[in-house]
Amino acid sequence: MRKIVSLILLAILLSGVIFCLTEIPFGRSLSKVREYYIDNGIKDTGATNIVTSVVVNYRGFDTLGEVTVLFLAAIGLSAVLHQEEKKPKKEGRKSSLILYTGCRFLFPLTMLFGAYIFIHGHLTPGGGFQGGAIIASGFLLTMLGCWKWRGINKSAAKITESIGGLVFVVIGLLGLLYSGYFLANYLPKGLPNELFSAGIIPIIYVAIGFKVGAELTGVLDRLIEEP
């Protein structure tokens, strides 16, 4: 009896889903907003990367929400995994010379690449989230490969991510002050395809890059240290 009832309920649910999905016009463009972004994106924001102009300028408030979600996730993880930092961290297993030298050689290059990605977020593909994730993966490489590594400076990571978030919010509030709405692009837009262009977009993306990098590195550091 229960099986029959559940089958009937499943059939009703399935027919509802199929009915809804056939109504959606997949593959056809009915919204005008896509053409608007492609036509007017560079003129409105000064950023040649249209994805960045949508993420930071047209939908900047959503990005603030995303950053907040990531912040809350990092806070929750550190609350769950919190432990007293009294005992000295024991040195990991000694890795081979090739691995150690390779990690030390690759770490600054990874930092440079991550910084390049989030500084040039308004010109080339990438941005704060991608650059921050690359920086965190560079720290992960060092945590795994360098046995002399004693963990990151936790208060420096916390200060970095707090300053990143604060810069984002303060720039948004200055937009409210100068132009009348939150995250308005009040700085001069400059010429497209130049590094110093697009107003507040590069500043916000650099702040997001520092924030995401510090947060993900903090998460990895919390996880990787000995319980």
Partner 1 sequence: MILEIILVLVMLVAAVSAGTFKNLLNAVIAAGFVSFIAAILFFLLNAPDVAMAEASIGAALTVAIFVIALKKTKRHEDDEKNS
Residues in the site for partner 1, rule: CB under 8 A?
49, 51-52, 117, 125-127, 129-130, 133-134, 136-137, 140, 144, 216, 219-220, 223-224, 227
CB of 127 to partner 1, least distance (A): 7
Nearer to partner 1, 16 or 125 (CB): 125
- Give the Cα separation of 100 and 110 in Å (integer): 15
Nearer to partner 1, 44 or 225 (CB): 225
CB of 117 to partner 1, least distance (A): 7
CB of 219 to partner 1, least distance (A): 8
**Cβ-count burial of 186 within 10 angstroms (0-12 exposed, 13-18 middle, 19+ buried)?**
middle
CB of 184 to partner 1, least distance (A): 24
Nearer to partner 1, 77 or 174 (CB): 77
List CB contacts of 43: < 8 A, sequence separation 6 or more.
Answer: none
CB of 110 to partner 1, least distance (A): 10
List CB contacts of 105: < 8 A, sequence separation 6 or more.
Answer: none
CB of 50 to partner 1, least distance (A): 10
Nearer to partner 1, 139 or 168 (CB): 139
